């Protein structure tokens, strides 16, 4: 009994010491987290203060190089504000309005900076940027009050992920709810309001198919009886679709036009038995069976015995990169195990391709020294705002043996984009 009592006493001492130790560690972590959030709030407040000042100054800048410099400053301040905002504890509620505002202002400023560099500046667009200053002032005032409350201990945070969001997160969400509305920003950039309003061009004018009709088509594509197909979903969204499954295969078709959007076969794969060339031929034949004969392949990657190939629509000699279809071919038997036609559905439409204002010979004059042209094509490339532009594509080799892709605007002759081709163990990648 004495030994048992001693053991119990020792155990209680150990457990008590452990409790004190972990409590101390928790308090240290809590203190550190508080300091980090305080620093993030300070950075956010400082960035918004600089942003407000720059937007106000922008109102009085004449046309010229200073506008380009100011646009660069605004873009950088938005980047810093976004970084600070992402470091704050938001819980399950996101600052959609505030985040969108900061992202849009920064991206719009970058858009104006790029246009200014190309001599495409617009007084109307600059006025639009300046008009966003009032919203920066409103947000600055709210964040300033929030930081004051945080510094004085009026609000707190919750660092336990199992707990409900703390008062700081709640206060941030309140700022989001009270954020004033501002006019839509329509421009060629990833945060433009027109992107959310895009509709699939390939489905324009197509009739709406019923679930039963789509089921019949899915069965034909999977080459099985409709009786063995399960209905998975009836979704809305940018491309409303029906989802079906059968054994290891899943398939989705658009409601409008019943276009095949995706296909997945999650079966186990065996050892590779076919070559990359044979896999590409299998994918091309599959597309032809779907009625898509004007597709050409570009680059491919091999991962876990699935060769994923990028196919693009071709109108004569013009390659249309936005009209993208990704196909995954199993290298054990050549079957199609992955298919993504979202890019094709969103972008494909009839195009009137006029003769380019800039000839290939003229575009070649802009190729930097040290690059050797290996091939050239007339292509459409996507922009960051999900529009498209006609370009001359020059595939070049650099002095060190690397491959460089240069895209020259076929209307203006300006360089639209530069990509580096990188060969890896899995295939060819771009960066």
Tell me whether residue 235 is in a domain: yes
Nearest to 324 by CA among 299, 347, 292, 351: 347
Same domain, 375 and 279: no
d(CA 244, CA 219): 9
Same domain, 223 and 101: no
**Domain boundary residue, one of 181, 197, 213:** 197
d(CA 187, CA 199): 17
Total domains in the chain come to: 3
Tell me whether residue 15 is in a domain: no
Tell me whether residue 1 is in a domain: no
Q: What is the pLDDT of residues 339-356, one digit of tens each?
A: 999 999 999 999 988 899
Tell me whether residue 354 is in a domain: no
What size, in residues, is the chain?
Answer: 431
Same domain, 182 and 226: no
Same domain, 158 and 210: no
**Domain boundary residue, one of 169, 197, 225:** 197
Same domain, 185 and 141: yes
Residue ranges of the chain whose pLDDT lies below 70: 1-35, 89-95, 153-183, 429, 431
Q: Which residue has the tokens 């399960």?
A: 230
- The token duo for 189 is 């950039």
Nearest to 179 by CA among 94, 109, 251, 247: 94
Same domain, 52 and 31: yes
CB neighbourhood size of 397 (10 A): 15
Same domain, 192 and 44: yes
Q: How many CA atoms lie within 13 A of 255 on its CB side?
A: 13
Same domain, 250 and 209: yes
Tell me whether residue 8 is in a domain: no
What is the predicted pLDDT for the residue at 342? 94
**Domain boundary residue, one of 177, 197, 217:** 197
- The token duo for 62 is 């004449």
Tell me whether residue 382 is in a domain: yes
Nearest to 85 by CA among 102, 70, 68: 102
For the packed helices 123-130 and 2-58, what is the interaxial angle rounded to 10 degrees?
Answer: 140
Q: What is the pLDDT of residues 255-294, one digit of tens each?
A: 999 999 999 999 999 999 999 999 999 999 999 999 999 9
Buried (b) or exposed (e) across 166-179, using 16+ Cβ within 10 A?
bebbebbbebbeeb
What is the predicted pLDDT for the residue at 157? 54
Same domain, 255 and 320: yes
- Domain carrying residue 160: 25-197
Tell me whether residue 20 is in a domain: no
Question: What CATH number has the domain bearing residue 373?
Answer: 3.10.450
Same domain, 171 and 37: yes
Q: pTM for the whole thing?
A: 0.74
Same domain, 318 and 403: no
What is the predicted pLDDT for the residue at 14? 54
Q: What is the pLDDT of residues 177-235, one digit of tens each?
A: 666 666 677 777 777 877 777 899 999 999 999 999 999 999 999 999 999 999 999 99
What is the predicted pLDDT for the residue at 62? 86
CB 323 within 8 A of CB 314: no
Same domain, 191 and 210: no
Angle formed at CA 365 by CA 364 and CA 367, multiple of 5 degrees: 65
Q: Which residues contact 39 (CB under 8 A, 6 or more apart)?
A: none
Nearest to 409 by CA among 351, 359, 346, 343: 359
CB 152 within 8 A of CB 145: no
Tell me whether residue 117 is in a domain: yes
């Amino acid at each position: 009994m004495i030994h048992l009592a001693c053991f119990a006493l020792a155990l209680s001492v150990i457990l008590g010491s452990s409790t004190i130790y972990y409590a101390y560690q928790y308090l240290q972590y809590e203190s550190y987290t508080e300091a980090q959030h305080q620093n993030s709030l300070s950075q956010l407040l400082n960035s918004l203060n600089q942003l407000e000042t720059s937007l106000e100054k922008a109102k009085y800048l004449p046309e010229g190089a200073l506008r380009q410099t100011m646009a660069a400053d605004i873009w950088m301040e938005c980047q810093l504000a976004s970084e600070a905002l992402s470091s704050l504890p938001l819980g399950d509620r996101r600052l959609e309005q505030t985040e969108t505002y900061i992202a849009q202002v920064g991206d719009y400023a970058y858009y104006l900076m790029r246009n200014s560099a190309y001599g495409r500046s617009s007084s109307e667009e600059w006025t639009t940027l300046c008009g966003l200053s009032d919203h920066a002032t409103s947000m600055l005032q709210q964040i300033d009050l929030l930081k004051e409350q945080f510094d004085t201990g009026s609000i707190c945070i919750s660092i336990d992920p199992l707990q409900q969001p703390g008062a700081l997160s709640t206060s941030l969400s309140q700022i989001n709810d009270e954020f004033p509305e501002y006019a839509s920003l329509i421009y060629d950039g990833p945060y433009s309001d027109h992107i959310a309003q895009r509709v699939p061009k390939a489905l324009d004018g197509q009739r709406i198919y019923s679930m039963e009709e789509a089921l019949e088509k899915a069965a034909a594509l999977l080459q099985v009886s409709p009786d063995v197909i399960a209905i998975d979903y009836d979704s809305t969204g940018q491309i409303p679709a029906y989802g079906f499954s059968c054994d290891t295969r899943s398939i989705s078709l658009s409601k409008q036009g019943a276009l095949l959007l995706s296909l997945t076969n999650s079966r186990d794969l065996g050892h590779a038995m076919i070559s990359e060339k044979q896999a590409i031929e299998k994918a091309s034949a599959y597309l032809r069976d779907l009625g898509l004969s004007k597709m050409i392949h570009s680059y491919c990657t091999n991962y876990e015995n699935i060769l994923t190939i990028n196919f693009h629509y071709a109108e004569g000699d013009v390659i249309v990169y936005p009209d993208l279809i990704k196909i995954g071919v199993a290298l054990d038997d050549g079957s199609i195990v992955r298919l993504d036609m979202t890019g094709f559905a969103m972008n494909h439409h009839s195009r009137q391709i006029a003769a380019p204002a800039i000839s290939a010979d003229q575009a070649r004059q802009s190729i930097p020294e040290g690059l050797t042209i290996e091939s050239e094509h007339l292509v459409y490339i996507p922009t960051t705002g999900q529009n498209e532009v006609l370009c001359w594509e020059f595939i070049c080799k650099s002095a060190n043996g690397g491959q460089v892709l240069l895209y020259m605007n076929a209307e203006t002759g300006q360089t639209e984009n530069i990509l580096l081709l990188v060969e890896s163990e899995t295939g060819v990648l771009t960066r």
